[in-house]
Structure 1
């Protein structure tokens, strides 16, 4: 993690607390209604209830709750959650044990505006919090100084990374991971309401070899082709641009979730900052604004989309030579 990310995470409580009691009505404070772990928990439970073919009224009756209690839980607005209740919902919905453990971990996270998710801390390491968040986003602004953004990776590029990151995985498990990553890309390739992605890649991403020259050539051509889509912008930050921010941010993504009929955000925007031993999620408006401005500055310093596409195709030819 970069120095700036470390400074941001220093103020985040890495601990978590087990909540006791029932599912109460939120107190009206901003933190109670916008805590990311609670929203993610609610999103998963809503999706699995739907897959189980149950209405809110039906599921509530099985839990001996009022419908409003389950509604608040699914909206991430319950300020006190019992893990025993989450376990029972998982049983009713047919949620497998590994996922159930992750959901119980989400339920135990403290109500904070900035959340440092340490891998393996209450939430199992194989439970990917970010994927559920990404799937609900309508706009993503991202900067990556070392690797291609997961949403834009080819199968072979992703496969090469997974073999390095998970050397003990079987071929079957490795392929499962790759396919899951490719399935996520439907977010930007679907015909109806695809998400908008604006990504800045450092030129080093183009030069750093992952999987060999053939894999790199195909990956860079893929990026160039994707950048012709109306909803995908790819800009390359060249070495010649130096350090536009005067500091290293590390990789980050600003996620936004659209607005309602009155123009209000459906959910608060979130900044996702990747780390090697955990991930940082920031919701405070001042933090979100800072990362938005950082992304704008990086875009301004980067090549425009046409020049970036030309550079991608040029480097792809070099790898193919």
Structure 2
């Protein structure tokens, strides 16, 4: 999150000065691509020497300079600590998904809409394993088990009182027999348990719900973030759209608003907490028969 905030501030200052990335690169002796990586929040060198030189070139104020230096220090501190827990699994997760894991770990609240494949935060090990074998039948068993371990480790956030999740599930996700009836029965009972946590809301959109945008948008996740400890800045929300051929991370205000509005409409047609529990448990019973 520190990298993303640093990059946004650097881009804002450069554009306010009407400078191109190539001009910023010449200031510190790096390529335009390196400036682009810095502004996109991707791993690259963020020394105080670089930050001060860019602040001079961009005519940053004293306060703006201090914010950037604080953010750079936060980035370097995180690097020395080895990053988040998911770094240990970087070679085993799907390419690029470690970026999402970082966002999820930093988020204070997420809003999830799932049409098929239940969200990782709700999955049992057996369900996750069945998903992996379906998606990648030739994947080595050891790597499948590492991916299962990642899904289970993510669920530690569920018991964090500073974190909240509002999850809306299509009835389709409950009836899609991933792993077979026994796996699904246990999976739905697990969802019922999680839905009773004070900071977690799980509601179901039944097949007979009124027409809504969720049928058009596909599955997505909205992530919102707390203040950064070093500066008090709040990172803008992100809309994450997971696709089979590649993921999308949308940050523009208009894009995020469209997904936020869609989630509000989906929430409007979803069953309430008790009705959702009844449906989830009734489907679990069907699987168990």
TM normalised by structure 1 equals 0.63
Task: Work out which of the residue numbers 109, 113, 119 in structure 2 matches 1:139.
Answer: 109
Write out aligned runs for 1:43-58 (5 A). none
Q: Which has the bigger relative contact order, CA under 8 A and spacing at least 6? A: 1
Instruction: Check the 8 A contact 1:272/1:282 in 2, yes or no.
Output: yes
Matching of residue 182 in structure 1 with residue 170 in structure 2? no
CA drift at 1:129: 1.5
- Cα distance change of structure 1 residues 254 and 65 upon mapping to structure 2, 3 Å threshold: closer
CA drift at 1:94: 7.9
Equivalent residue number for residue 257 of structure 1? 225
CA drift at 1:128: 2.5
Residue range with higher mean Cα deviation, 298-307 or 159-168? 159-168
Which structure is higher in helix share?
Answer: 2
Task: Work out which of the residue numbers 198, 217, 241 in structure 2 matches 1:273.
Answer: 241
Matching of residue 299 in structure 1 with residue 262 in structure 2? no
Matching of residue 216 in structure 1 with residue 216 in structure 2? no
SS of 1:248's partner is helix
Q: Deviations over 1:162-203 (max 9, x none)?
A: 11122222222111110011101111124xx34100011000
Instruction: Check the 8 A contact 1:146/1:202 in 2, yes or no.
Output: yes
Q: Deviations over 1:175-232 (max 9, x none)?
A: 1110011101111124xx3410001100011111000111000110111111111111
Equivalent residue number for residue 167 of structure 2? 199
Matching of residue 228 in structure 1 with residue 187 in structure 2? no
- Cα distance change of structure 1 residues 282 and 318 upon mapping to structure 2, 3 Å threshold: same
Matching of residue 153 in structure 1 with residue 153 in structure 2? no
Equivalent residue number for residue 29 of structure 1? none
Q: What residue ranges of structure 2 are gaps of 5+ in the alignment?
A: 1-20, 30-35, 53-64
CA distance, structure 2, for counterparts of residue 298 and residue 311 of structure 1: 17
- Cα distance change of structure 1 residues 282 and 75 upon mapping to structure 2, 3 Å threshold: farther
SS of 2:261's partner is helix
Runs of 4+ aligned structure 1 residues displaced above 6 Å come to: 63-70, 92-95
- The two structures, once aligned, show a CA RMSD in angstroms of 3.8
Q: What residue ranges of structure 1 are gaps of 5+ in the alignment?
A: 1-16, 25-31, 46-58, 77-85, 103-123
Matching of residue 244 in structure 1 with residue 244 in structure 2? no
Instruction: Check the 8 A contact 2:166/2:200 in 1, yes or no.
Output: yes
SS of 2:132's partner is helix
Equivalent residue number for residue 61 of structure 2? none
- Cα distance change of structure 1 residues 271 and 246 upon mapping to structure 2, 3 Å threshold: closer
Instruction: Check the 8 A contact 2:47/2:72 in 1, yes or no.
Output: no
CA drift at 1:250: 0.6
Q: How many residues align?
A: 237
